[in-house]
Structure 1
Amino acid sequence: MSKLSRAALTDAVQEELITYLRNGTINERSVTRALDISGLGIENLDRLKRIHFCLSDDIVEFVEALQGRLRRIKTANQREREVTRGEVRGGIDWQATTRLRYSEAPGDRTQFACKTPYTEYDIPENLVLKKLLWVIHSTVQDDLSNIDYEWRTDVWPTERITMFDRIYARNVHLNRIRDGDDININQRMLNTARTARQSLYTDAYTYYDRYRRLLASAYDDDDISELLSDTLVVPERLPQLFELFCIFRLLRGFSAQGFRLHPIESGSKQLATLEDNRHTVDVYHDRSGRLSFHVPLSELEGVEENYVERIQHIQRRHEELVDAFLGNDTQHSLFSGRPDIVFEVYDSPRRERLVAVTLGEIKYSDSPQTFTSGLEELLEYIEFAQQDSYLTGQEVDVRGLLITDGVKSNAVAPLDGRITHLSAADLTTERFATDWIPERFR
């Protein structure tokens, strides 16, 4: 069986991702880790949005044409009233001069109230333009310039970054507009830019408005959905994208059984939460949820096997030497790990009692050897899963789910009632929906 390609995975993920984000039923921070481009450690979705905003073709083209367009920047001619002594600057305001000489300096004919002309750059259109350029410039400098990946150098090569930085820092017109960090855009400014005669300002309005809606998660807007679909799902490592693909398909499986996805509250650790009339399902990705998979070595105290004694001796000596060399404490364990995905099923919305757990291990591989190691990991997770005490042996239905891409197995039903293997092909059909979910929840 052939593995799913990047294009196939991306197409499969994009539509569901936009739907989940639009409905607020998926944890943005958790999904950002899976969407992270080239493993940059970005856990802030707003930062990721800014990066993708600046990677879009429209923004790059806008920056490329900027140098020539700034020559026709709009200004307003203003006159500032100024009091002078013994000289005249600009036109004399005789009415104000007369009042000045009578009220403040009687008999002093050397004082004049003058109207000094000056050019005003801080007009609404320019403020919108400068704010947009500040957003682009700060993102390029802070988030893109030091990244040495092909996806960055293709869109923002060093020459383009240098050119833009020079324009932003040295252009005489831009320098006369207030600093972008000090500009607070209001609706009046946007309306003025939107109705301006020059395309420089109407374009600035269009792109800044798009940026605002992007940060506001206006996923129901067609252009925002298109921007995210075109640029958002681009993780360098395909296993990350495959995990996201699998998770979305598994969520669809629960939804097919009547479970409803609930909006994620701020600060939640769950990737998603589902409910039906009797149960709540908390879904975790790369998190252990309320479970623990850590078995301290101290649990083996009193066991006399020679092998265990040697292991304990090594661990104790390691702890002593680390403390002697570095002054650090260490904690050793017999087993410690975490499944790729955890489904915790509780018997009420208040999560009073854990009734079922499904632990998932996802392998973007068609190798039988990877299948074997993934199966072993899954068995360890099932055996060592804890909540207050070990789940195995309690009245908790603990199951394992192994997902691979391209490995064909003989079994079509859960082995020994607890382990299910699904392939990527299974996830693209509807029959998978009930294969891995305990019957009591179907």
Structure 2
Amino acid sequence: MESGRDCFLRYLLRGTAVSDPQTCLDENDDLRRSLGMAYFLADSHDKQDVLTFVSDTLPLLLRQLQRTTRRERIAFQGQIRGRVDWPATTKARLQNEVNPALYVCRPPLRQDNTPENQLLKFLLEAIDRLIRDLSLDMQNAELWTAVSDTHFPFSQRLAQITFHVRQALGHARLRPVETPEMVTARHLVKARASKTELYGLVAQLYDQYKVVVVDGRWLDLLPIFGRTILLPDPAVPLGDTCIQLAARGFVQARQA
């Protein structure tokens, strides 16, 4: 039986039956989404891909998550925390039968539920969901990259990504952060303008996610085909079509 690699080489030498890749994707939404999810997760390059982000960048970012500080009036008995609100303290003491040990203070309350952290949590949950939604046929594909001389199972890379993502989602400071229903311009602007420059990489990876997975246009996939190829079993559903598109994309990317 012909392997995915043999099938790919045959299509490189003889050409493919796919005359218009974009039309092929438009006519099969399952194929378009599957390719987008798989190549977003598989993309391997020397700048910023999913695995590099979750294994290298994410641990650093979790140690310096952005916080906001606000102050609320809180009454304390016999102790002072933060600044004392003397007018409120005097009023409270009079209302409590002249209690000299009562202080109304405004301690700094730190919150992690910032737009930057919401964007991060949205992205991590999206990555985790993509891996769970990816078909077993695609998870078991051979992964070939420009940065490695040999192929290895795509499932191996997915397992590494899953480990780091779920570890981060269990982080004590990230758990209380709300996941937005959708990412807005405010999330992205805040991330790019943050004093913590690593948030800029979060915004950058989200942009890649939107372009490759959500939009899923052929021209946006092309740069990835030039450095990353996924070869599923040609005998499985959509396997042969995925290999044809990989061969077509590889040739187009190298000619660009």
* TM-score above 0.5: yes
- Which of 99, 114, 122 aligns to 2:105? It is 114
Question: In 2, are the aligned partners of 1:13 and 1:245 still within 8 Å (CA)?
Answer: no
- Separation of aligned partners in 2, 1:120 and 1:74: 10
What is the CA-CA distance between 1:66 and the residue it aligns to? Answer: 3.7
Q: Which residue of 1 aligns with 2:199?
A: 201
SS in 2 for 1:65: helix
Question: In 2, are the aligned partners of 1:12 and 1:245 still within 8 Å (CA)?
Answer: no
Query: Letter of the aligned partner of 1:154 in structure 2?
Result: P
C-alpha deviations, 1:175-231, integer Å up to 9, x for none?
3533x4x554211111121233444211110111221233442627x5444347766
- Separation of aligned partners in 2, 1:161 and 1:241: 23
TM-score (norm 2): 0.64
SS in 2 for 1:185: coil
What is the CA-CA distance between 1:235 and the residue it aligns to? Answer: 4.4
Q: Which residue of 2 aligns with 1:363?
A: none
From the CA coordinates, give the structure whose radius of gyration is larger: 1
Structure in which a larger fraction of residues adopt helix: 2
What is the CA-CA distance between 1:146 and the residue it aligns to? Answer: 10
- Separation of aligned partners in 2, 1:51 and 1:195: 30
SS in 2 for 1:236: coil
Question: In 2, are the aligned partners of 1:137 and 1:165 still within 8 Å (CA)?
Answer: yes
Query: Letter of the aligned partner of 2:129 in structure 1?
Result: S
C-alpha deviations, 1:76-103, integer Å up to 9, x for none?
351431432423333212233345556x
Q: Which residue of 2 aligns with 1:130?
A: 121
1:236 aligns with 2:233: yes
1:154 aligns with 2:153: yes
**Which of 1 and 2 has higher RCO (CA within 8 Å, sep 6+)?**
2
- Which of 206, 219, 223 aligns to 1:226? It is 223
Distance 1:214 1:196, change over 3 A: same
Query: Letter of the aligned partner of 2:234 in structure 1?
Result: R
- Separation of aligned partners in 1, 2:240 and 2:114: 49
SS in 2 for 1:73: coil
Q: How many residues align?
A: 222
1:97 aligns with 2:84: no
- Separation of aligned partners in 2, 1:177 and 1:91: 27
Q: Which residue of 2 aligns with 1:168?
A: 168
Distance 1:28 1:217, change over 3 A: farther
1:17 aligns with 2:21: yes
- Separation of aligned partners in 2, 1:118 and 1:17: 54
Structure in which a larger fraction of residues adopt strand: 1
| Unmatched runs of 5 consecutive residues or more in structure 1 | 36-44, 247-442
Supply the RMSD in Å over aligned alpha carbons. Answer: 4.1
What is the CA-CA distance between 1:124 and the residue it aligns to? Answer: 1.9
What is the CA-CA distance between 1:133 and the residue it aligns to? Answer: 1.3
Distance 1:196 1:97, change over 3 A: same
- Which of 72, 76, 81 aligns to 2:67? It is 76
C-alpha deviations, 1:153-184, integer Å up to 9, x for none?
63442762563155224434433533x4x554
- Separation of aligned partners in 1, 2:88 and 2:225: 59
